[in-house]
Amino acid sequence: MKPETIILGGGPAGSSAAILLAQAGYPVTVIEKETFPRFHIGESLLPSANRSFCRLGVLEDIQAGGFLEKRGAEFTTPTRDKEVINQFSDGMRKDLTSAFQVERAKFDHLLLERARGAGAAIEQPARIHQVQSNEGGGWTVSYEKNGQSPQKTARYLIDASGRNRILGKHLKLPDESLPYPKRVAVFAHFRGFPRRPGERAGNIEITRLADGWIWMIPMAGDRTSIGWVSGLQSWKEGSGSPEERFEQTLAETPWLQERLANASRIGPVHMESDYSYSYQNFAGADYFLTGDAACFIDPIFSSGVAFALESGIAAADSIMNHSPQEKGIPLAAQKAYTRRFQKGLQTMRKLTDLFYSDAGYAILMNPKNPFGIVPAFNSVVAGEVRPPFRIRWRLWIILSLYRLNERYHFVPTPPLSPSPQ
Ligand SMILES: Cc1cc2nc3c(=O)[nH]c(=O)nc-3n(C[C@H](O)[C@H](O)[C@H](O)COP(=O)(O)OP(=O)(O)OC[C@H]3O[C@@H](n4cnc5c(N)ncnc54)[C@H](O)[C@@H]3O)c2cc1C
């Protein structure tokens, strides 16, 4: 008998685990509180996510799903006097050259329907309010659905509940506080926002400000996601509604002003706050933490969904590889799972530090290419987060230049303020 798994949450992490388990004939139930399609943030994917789509057998569905192709990332100063374009095809990894910009409402719905089609049971809308570890092994999950409070038991749990982190909070798992200041993100969708020319039309654009940054993510159907990330402290010091302050920040950024002239907002302004955490261990003998339920770092390099998909797949693989053993997932496999994703997390943290430090940002905005360090950087931002040696040592040079610049200031920081300094 194949053991049963309950998956808490039906975002990309939950759906990817469910697809694999169901395809292999394992009984699996996903419990998701929202009715899909629903809005969710996290719209710019990395090329490395395509590996997961191939593994899940959904690449063709995604290609046919009407999502915009993304070929790179562009960094622009607020006054647009400096612009750095990272095309993935210029990277060292020739298999990581393009990705997708996705409207999450459609994307998450597609994946969850694939899980259903593969044979997963989907409880939706159903809000989990309690998880309990059973004495003889396994778990009981209690949830609310249609005014009822049913319970379900299973041998394994996969927490894919995103930043709600149901299991981590329930088990009071030790988490690592990441040394990042708290931040606030305010964002909305627009229509009529002009695209970059030619092959760059699907690129994400990022403009760093003194205490935050702005993203512009083009999507299919003339839709563009625009978001503003601000330090929580400076957010608290300001006044006005999130909507007013968002519009004011966009209006004050010259590079955006001209492009917003004929654009209009087509949905509500959303807000998220207070993020960046990581649990110390991502797995136990009968559970896995996946995606944001395991860790969340700053979204600047768009790694969240790629990590969610990959960790969902790895959790399902581990259950399938080890479930015949009475005692559940062996300690070595639990540790290997944590190590694998912590390693990727460390790489993303180094890039995040580089971006937020003025000295590091100066290096990022003045790319020089001794020893081919720029193609190496392109591959890492394409999602090569556990890079082989030939990319790793080049990344080390970039990070060393940043540390040296912190000390000796040999590369000036480009303008961070919309107005002349
Ligand atoms: C401002 C911001 C910008 C971002 N930009 C990007 C980006 O450009 N690219 C990128 O890759 N990532 C980005 N991210 C990160 C991305 O949103 C997440 O990493 C990704 O969605 C994680 O997927 P997940 O499946 O782990 O969790 P989620 O996508 O959050 O899915 C969790 C699911 O669990 C369900 N759930 C939660 N609690 C319960 C409950 N009690 N009962 C039942 N169901 C429950 C939720 O409804 C949800 O559907 C961004 C994040 C933020 C905050």
Instruction: For 90-123, write each residue's pLDDT tens digit.
Output: 999 999 999 999 999 999 999 999 999 999 999 9
Give a three-class secondary structure readout of 358-374. HHHHHHHCCCCCHHHHH
Atom of ligand 1 nearest to the CA of 14: 25
Of 115, 126, 125, the residue nearest 27 (C-alpha): 115
Tens-of-pLDDT digits for all 421 residues of the chain?
899 999 999 999 999 999 999 999 999 999 999 999 999 999 999 999 999 999 999 999 999 999 999 999 999 998 888 999 999 999 999 999 999 999 999 999 999 999 999 999 999 999 999 999 999 889 999 999 999 999 999 999 999 999 999 999 999 999 887 888 889 999 999 999 999 999 999 999 999 999 999 999 999 999 999 999 999 998 999 899 999 999 999 998 888 888 999 999 999 999 998 778 999 999 999 999 999 999 998 899 999 999 999 999 999 999 999 876 667 899 999 999 999 999 999 999 999 999 999 999 999 999 988 999 999 999 999 999 999 999 999 999 999 999 999 999 999 999 888 765 4
Beta strand 183-191 with 270-273: parallel, antiparallel or unpaired?
antiparallel
Distance CA 381, CA 393 (A): 15
Domain ranges of the chain: 5-67+102-178+276-344, 183-273, 345-408
**Ligand 1 pocket, 360 CB below 6 A?**
no
Distance CA 392, CA 395 (A): 5
**Ligand 1 pocket, 112 CB below 6 A?**
no
Distance CA 214, CA 229 (A): 6
Alpha-helix runs per DSSP H in 323-388: 331-356, 358-364, 373-381
Respond yes or no on whether ipTM tops 0.90: yes
**Ligand 1 pocket, 12 CB below 6 A?**
yes
Convert the pLDDT of each residue in 233-265 to its tens digit: 989 998 999 999 999 999 988 888 889 999 999
Q: Which CATH number fits domain 183-273: 3.30.9.100, 3.90.226.10, 1.10.490.10, 3.40.50.1820?
A: 3.30.9.100
**Ligand 1 pocket, 120 CB below 6 A?**
no
Q: Which CATH architecture has domain 5-67+102-178+276-344?
A: 3-Layer(bba) Sandwich (3.50)
**Ligand 1 pocket, 406 CB below 6 A?**
no
Determine phi and psi for 48, rounding to 5 degrees.
-65, -20
- 370 CA from centroid of ligand 1 (Å): 38
Pocket of ligand 1, candidates 8, 15, 41, 151: which has the most ligand atoms within 8 Å of its Cβ, to mutate? Answer: 41
Beta strand 156-159 with 287-289: parallel, antiparallel or unpaired?
parallel
Pocket of ligand 1, candidates 33, 107, 289: which has the most ligand atoms within 8 Å of its Cβ, to mutate? Answer: 33
Displacement of CA 344 from its chain's centroid (Å): 12
Beta strand 295-296 with 277-279: parallel, antiparallel or unpaired?
antiparallel
**Ligand 1 pocket, 48 CB below 6 A?**
no
Distance CA 44, CA 73 (A): 10
Distance CA 57, CA 19 (A): 9
Residue in this structure with the two tokens 């330090």, named with its chain if needed = 231
Atom of ligand 1 nearest to the CA of 291: 26
Report yes or no: 160 and 312 within 8 Å, Cβ to Cβ: yes
Displacement of CA 139 from its chain's centroid (Å): 28
C-alpha distances out from residue 220 to 98, 103, 190, 273, Å: 15, 8, 12, 27
Displacement of CA 287 from its chain's centroid (Å): 22
Helices 373-381 and 389-408, packing angle to 10 deg: 100
Distance CA 100, CA 203 (A): 10
Residue in this structure with the two tokens 């992490």, named with its chain if needed = 13
